[in-house]
Amino acid sequence: MAKKQADNNFTRKQNSFLKALKETLGNITAACMQVHISRQTYYNWMNDDEFAQAVDEVNESNLDYAESKLLSLIRQENATAIIFYLKTKG
């Protein structure tokens, strides 16, 4: 059986996956490849509510990052960013 980390109930591999998911901005395939697991393993892990919650938190963090970059471009008066924002938020 895989060892659990002291700071949460996840295995080292699961923690490595969560880190990779953040680094790849939510790209599941890339994160799986980075930690050498199959997508099926990821989907099996998603049956654990606590792990699914951690994945949601990573995805929310990634969305916050993307939104901050978009707002930065808007502040620089980037017309494409402004139009995109207005079409999706306005």
Distance CA 46, CA 21 (A): 13
Distance CA 50, CA 21 (A): 16
Q: What is the pLDDT of residues 35-70, one digit of tens each?
A: 999 999 999 999 999 999 999 999 999 999 999 999
Q: 76 or 4, which is more confident?
A: 76
Distance CA 75, CA 81 (A): 9
Helices 12-23 & 28-35 angle (0-180, nearest 10) = 130
- Residue 25 Rama label (left phi>0; alpha psi -120 to 50; beta): left
